[in-house]
Structures are given as structure tokens and as C-alpha cells.
Amino acid sequence: MLERYHAILEGREKARYLESKENGNFYELIEKAWDLFSRCGLCEHRCNVNRHRQHGICGVKQASIASHFMHYGEESFLIPSYTIFFSGCNFKCVYCQNWDISQGQSGLYIEPERMAKYINEAYQRGAKNINWVGGEPTPNIPYILEILKNSDTNIPQIWNSNMYLSKEAMDLLNGFIDLYLADFKYGNDGCALRLSKVRNYTSIVKRNHKIAYENGMLVIRHLILPSHVECCSKPIIEWIAENVPDAIVNIMDQYYPTYKAYEYDELNRRITVQEYKEVLHYAKELGIHVVE
């Protein structure tokens, strides 16, 4: 699954955004991205507002970077990862561990030319990838493309996202993203609506995981929530086994109650060892490629 990723790192292949520049598609991507921005349809909330003038549900108007640094806490095959955290998010997860940046605009706007220099410097310092995350990177796709317009570094681009993008936005990503580090949070729409305030979650995220699987390299992250093994974890594992069987899956046990989680009885604790082992065993039983 990661062959092309390693080929880019070793200089045997070019990062997708460089390929788009060579074949003449890159500036078309930028034009389409700004068009979506001006009547915002970048995610499936489809606020349809002109984000040059106002923000949507995500709270993002002008791109705001909360932090950017060399990150060593990602999956072992991704580190060191030059990670760019945007503030703002199209989800309202009641247990968000990054709520201080996701639920507001706490960062700074950095000129795309300057960010491109930071990317080039990170590459020189040994970064294995550029990791676009948040909050949520989706509201910032046009800005990200403006940064890459000013870069010529052959380094893989990672999309670290909740995957609630519109189909149009997924088409844009296909022109510049090499690896998808994709959250799969819920196994049903009810939990998604109650805990993250998003509608039609499963159909949208399943569609986008399939698109990512077909067009790039896919690593799925699933954070186990306490008391959500049967309603969420197991249905997700089953769907992965049936639909994206070669995806790499990280089953995450680091949930802890924070932000508004204390207002929800089932979320007001860490997961148990038994819950983690049950999900992990189920994944292995179904032949999932689990990262441990």
C-alpha cells in the first residue's frame, strides 16, 4: 500500500502536485478550489456562503495556522512529519482533543510564499512528508494549493482529515495528495449527529474512503470510543474488510474525556483494556492490515 510513498521519498517518483504542475492541471485545480470557496461547497455541510466575506459552519474565513512543526507522534512509517495544524473545523465533536484550535480561530495567517519556504526547509531537515491537519484542513484547500504553487520540493503530501469533504473537493485532492490519513469515527449516522453534529455521515465518509483508496494510499484511523464497540467500531471494521481491504488501519486506544465529554455519560471515562482487545481481535479476525 505504501510503495509509491516510499518511491517518492527515494526520488524514484514525483509527488502528485509536481506531476499536476508538469501536465498543466495544477492551475486549473487552484481555479476550481477558489470557485468552491466563493460559494462554499468544500465539505458536505455545503454552506454555500462566499468565504471571502464570511465563514461557514467550520468557522474559517481566512486560513489560520495554529502551529507547524516537525511531528514525531504519528505512525512510525510517517515520522518525522512536518505537520501544519489549521484552526477551525467542520465537526463539533464533543470529545475533541484539539478543541482549543478546532472550535475557534486561534492561529495566524501566513503568506503562502513564506509557508512554501518552511516546507522546503523542513524537507532539508529530514521531513518525510507534509501533513495537512487541524482542526480540519478541508476549509483551507485553496490556500494549501497557493502554498504548493510556490514549492518545488519532491515530498509526499498527506491529507489528515475527518473525510467529510464534498465530491468536488475529493476531485481536487486527487491532483495533489499522495497519502490519505483518514479518520473513520462512527459506524452509524445517529452517533455522528449526536456527538459531532454532522448529518449523513456514513454515506459521505464511506464514499470518500473509497475514492481515496482508488486514487492514492490510504491509512485509516479509528479512535475507539467508550461504549461504542458494537454500534461504531465493529461496523467500521466490517466495512473496511469488505470495501477497502488493503488499507492500513490504526486502531487507536488513546481516547480520554475532555472538552464537553463529561456531559455524556458513556464518554465520561477512558476505554477499557477489554474494549481495545475486542476491537483489535475483531480486526485481525477479518484480515485487516492493522498497525500496532
**CA distance between the termini of the chain:** 16
Helices (H) and strands (E) in the chain, counts: 11, 8
Q: 3-291: what CATH class? A: alpha beta
Instruction: Output DSSP code: residue 43.
Output: B
Looking only at the bridges linking them, the beta strands covering 157-161 and 248-252 are unpaired
Which pLDDT score is estimated for 292?
A: 74
pTM for the model? 0.97
- Give, for all 292 residues of the chain, the pLDDT tens digit: 799 999 999 999 999 999 999 999 999 999 999 999 999 999 999 999 999 999 999 999 999 999 999 999 999 999 999 999 999 999 999 999 999 999 987 899 999 999 999 999 999 999 999 999 999 999 999 999 999 999 999 999 999 999 999 999 999 999 999 999 999 999 999 999 999 999 999 999 999 999 999 998 999 999 999 999 999 999 999 999 999 999 999 999 999 999 999 999 999 999 999 999 999 999 999 999 999 7
Q: What angle do CA 48, 180, 22 make, to 5 degrees?
A: 85
Name which of 138, 193, 141 is nearest 33 in CA terms: 141
Q: From its phi and psi, is residue 9 left (phi > 0), alpha (psi between -120 and 50) or beta? A: alpha
Which pLDDT score is estimated for 209?
A: 98
Which pLDDT score is estimated for 1?
A: 78
Residues with Cβ within 8 Å of residue 176, at least 6 apart in sequence: 16, 17, 20, 26, 29, 144, 145, 148, 157
Q: Looking at the DSSP assignment, which residues form a beta bridge with residue 85?
A: 67, 133
CB 74 within 8 A of CB 39: no
- Quote the strand ranges of 2-116, DSSP E: 65-71, 81-86
